[in-house]
Amino acid sequence: MSVLLALAARAVSMAISLVCGVLTVRLILGGPGVEYYALYTLVASLPGLISFSDLGSGAVLVNSIAVSDTPRKDPVIKAQLTTVGRIMVGFSGAGMVINAVLYLTGAWSLILGDAGRIPGADLAAFVSLMIFCLGIPFGIWQRVLLGLHKNHWIILIQAAQGPLNLLLVWLLVSFAPPSAGTFLALSSMVSGIMIAMVGFGFALTALAPLLGRAMRDIPSFRRAPGVQVMHVGWPMLVQLVSAPLSVALLRYILAQSGTTHDVAEYGAVGQVFFAINGVVAAGGLALWPLFTRARARGTLNRGPYAIAALFAVGAAVICALVWAVSPWLFDFITDGSLEVSGTTVLAFGLMVVCQAALYPLGMFLMDEAGIRFQMIPVALMTVSTIVLALLVTPVLGTAGPVLANAASVLVFQIVPFAVYTARHRERLMGTTPRPEEEVAT
């Protein structure tokens, strides 16, 4: 049921984000122009490069909350919440320091490529990332609600960011001086931190009074010592690092070897396909606590292959429809000011289909042994994506990095995950006898 709720919520969210995203693109392209839209997409995507703000330790929370019968009173969960909260506060501070160094050394202008030549671009990146870092500690709300099987809450809360971001962009474009176009991405960061604060409020209520008490214990190291969370966190961190390196980093590889037109095209097409991928991710993430709880109770009676096939076919149908109407669709989205290649649309479609097949397989392997196994394939996928993207982007343009990711996910994740699941079926299905059961017999 939680999977269906998540998919329904994401369908509503996707419709909202698509409409708001399209209107945002048209506002920027019709006002400040292509160069400023390229800068907007680069700066607004910066949080994707550091999405591992809990260093992977949030996986412990999701698993512990999912299997607990009394999560509101569980002392183990309380200690884990405090420990993960400390990690996120520390990460927030470290991010601010690194951000300041990048700004003071002029590195932001280099990272942003051609868009970094726009006056004030480095300051826009600095202020945007500083706002994001301030909101990092609130991000624990997503781990809490996911463990409570309330992924649909997460999706619906996040859906409000699109309209809020659109409102802020409209205010800047309509009433601010032309020079404010450099700082359009601030709208994304401001709306993001507001959504995080609202989500944190929902999590406080859903896990009351435990979450509030755990957060108050963060500065009290003696009274509330930390507990082990990185036994799952370190392997999970590899996956969390791989996501920004293999997807979000592609935009910056394109910025270095392509033009602002290429970056703007990537952003416009990605506006649609990342929304579709969001539906896939919603359904996939909802499977994680379901698989974990069913495995712990011994009620898991089917593997992930059929679900993976269903996800892939569904994504393929949707992407094919987008490709069929792409000439009209992207002419409307860009207000006719940006030419979008059919090859780019097809490349994004292949990437989304591969991600759709991957999610159920990956969520099925979220026990401790499965998470540890995923480290090597994920690392290989990341290296392959970056190397291939660097090689093919100068030749293929905007489609290059996207195709590099799709091929790498297929070879280094989908195939190995499927083989591993087949070889370790008994353990993953929860049918392997526990040690105490073996002694009793």
Quick: pLDDT tens for 128-178: 999 999 999 999 999 999 889 888 888 889 889 999 999 999 999 999 888
**157 vs 275 pLDDT, higher one:** 157
User: Residue 207 CB: number of other CB atoms within 10 A?
Assistant: 24
Which stretch, 175-184, 281-290, 405-414, has highest mean pLDDT? 405-414
Provide the mean pLDDT of the chain. Answer: 88
Does residue 211 have a pLDDT over 90?
A: yes
pLDDT at 292: 82
Structure tokens at 3: 């999977």
Greatest extent of the chain over all pairs of C-alpha atoms, in Å = 78
Q: Which domain holds residue 142?
A: 2-428
Tell me whether residue 335 is in a domain.
yes
Cα angle for residues 202, 204, 208 (degrees, 5° grid): 125
Contact 240, 56 (CB under 8 A): yes
Of the listed ranges 102-106, 137-141, 157-161, 291-295, the least confidently predicted one is: 291-295
Contacts of 226 (CB under 8 A, 6+ apart): 79, 82, 83, 86
Tell me whether residue 440 is in a domain.
no
Tell me whether residue 295 is in a domain.
yes
Tell me whether residue 387 is in a domain.
yes
Tell me whether residue 166 is in a domain.
yes
Contact 39, 115 (CB under 8 A): yes
Locus of tokens 């450099």: 182
Mark 62-100 as b/e (b = at least 16 C-beta within 10 Å): bbbbbbbeebeebeebbbbbbbbbbbbbebbeebbeebe
Q: What is the dihedral of CA 271, 23, 46, 368, to 10 degrees?
A: -50
**391 vs 229 pLDDT, higher one:** 391
pLDDT at 434: 44
pLDDT at 247: 82
User: Residue 394 CB: number of other CB atoms within 10 A?
Assistant: 11
Contacts of 125 (CB under 8 A, 6+ apart): 42, 43, 46, 102, 103, 108, 111, 112, 185
The 10s digit of each residue's pLDDT in 339-364 is 899 999 999 999 999 999 999 999 99
The number of distinct structural domains making up the chain is 1
CA–CA distance, 154 with 282 (Å, rounded to integer): 9
126 backbone φψ class: left, alpha, beta (φ>0; ψ -120 to 50): alpha
CA–CA distance, 358 with 371 (Å, rounded to integer): 14
User: What stretches of 336-441 show up as alpha helix (H) in DSSP?
Assistant: 342-364, 368-396, 399-409, 415-423, 425-428, 435-440
Locus of tokens 């070879």: 411
> How large is the C-alpha radius of gyration of the chain?
22
CA–CA distance, 417 with 326 (Å, rounded to integer): 33
Contact 428, 421 (CB under 8 A): yes
Nearest to 364 by CA among 285, 431, 311: 285
CA–CA distance, 409 with 82 (Å, rounded to integer): 35
Tell me whether residue 435 is in a domain.
no
Percentage with pLDDT > 90 across the chain: 53
CA–CA distance, 46 with 294 (Å, rounded to integer): 37
pLDDT at 3: 62
CA–CA distance, 27 with 31 (Å, rounded to integer): 6
Tell me whether residue 138 is in a domain.
yes
341 in helix, strand or coil?
coil
Taken as a whole, the chain contains a residue count of 441
Contact 20, 166 (CB under 8 A): yes
Cα angle for residues 327, 330, 336 (degrees, 5° grid): 95
pLDDT at 7: 67
CA–CA distance, 60 with 51 (Å, rounded to integer): 17
Tell me whether residue 12 is in a domain.
yes
Contacts of 195 (CB under 8 A, 6+ apart): 157, 158, 160, 161, 164
For range 431-436, the mean pLDDT: 49
Structure tokens at 161: 């960011």
Does residue 239 have a pLDDT over 50?
A: yes
pLDDT at 45: 86
Contact 418, 361 (CB under 8 A): yes
CA–CA distance, 324 with 322 (Å, rounded to integer): 5
pLDDT at 440: 42
Contact 175, 28 (CB under 8 A): no
Distances (CA, A) of 193 to 235, 277, 403, 415: 28, 22, 32, 38
The 10s digit of each residue's pLDDT in 251-261 is 888 988 888 88
CA–CA distance, 334 with 28 (Å, rounded to integer): 9
Contact 195, 132 (CB under 8 A): no
The 10s digit of each residue's pLDDT in 29-80 is 888 888 999 999 999 988 877 777 888 788 888 889 988 889 999 999 999 9
